[in-house]
């Protein structure tokens, strides 16, 4: 399934309560998208969320249902050092310990 990175901008600092996260998960389920993980900016006014979804439209539907912004939706592919057979740290590459 395609991966999407969603950038969300908030007018106030983002501080979701447990119940709000449950509502987000219900909206995602209704729209058929899977929230994998998110990053929260240091000022807590932006999130960068990684989702699996069939389309950007499904992401927009989930955001609308959850009453969340979806300012930017970008289809992405996962890459990592392991993709090319490398360890995840420079010290491991040099033969040191992490």
- Higher pLDDT among residues 59 and 79, named by residue: 59
Q: Tokens for 81?
A: 């050092």
Cβ atoms within 10 A of the Cβ of 25, count? 14
- What's the whole-model pTM score? 0.82
Q: Residue 93 has what pLDDT?
A: 62
- pLDDT tens, residue by residue, 7-50: 999 999 998 887 889 999 999 999 999 999 999 999 999 999 99
pLDDT above 90: percentage of residues in the chain: 71
User: Average per-residue pLDDT in the chain?
Assistant: 91
Q: What is the mean pLDDT of residues 66-95?
A: 85
- Judge residue 63's burial from the number of C-beta atoms within 10 Å of its C-beta, 0-12 exposed, 13-18 middle, 19 or more buried: buried
- Higher pLDDT among residues 94 and 58, named by residue: 58
Q: Residue 69 has what pLDDT?
A: 97
For 3-93, the fitting CATH number among 3.30.70.3090, 3.40.800.20, 1.10.3720.10, 3.10.310.10 is: 3.30.70.3090
């Amino acid at each position: 399934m395609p991966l999407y990175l969603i950038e969300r901008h908030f007018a106030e600092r983002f501080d979701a309560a447990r119940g709000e996260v449950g509502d987000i998960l219900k909206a995602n389920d209704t729209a058929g998208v899977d929230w994998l993980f998110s990053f929260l900016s240091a000022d807590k006014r932006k999130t960068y969320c990684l989702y699996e979804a069939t389309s950007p439209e499904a992401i927009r539907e989930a955001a609308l249902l959850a009453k969340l912004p979806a300012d930017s939706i970008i289809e992405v592919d996962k890459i990592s050092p392991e993709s090319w057979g490398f360890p995840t740290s420079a010290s491991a590459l040099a033969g040191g310990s992490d």
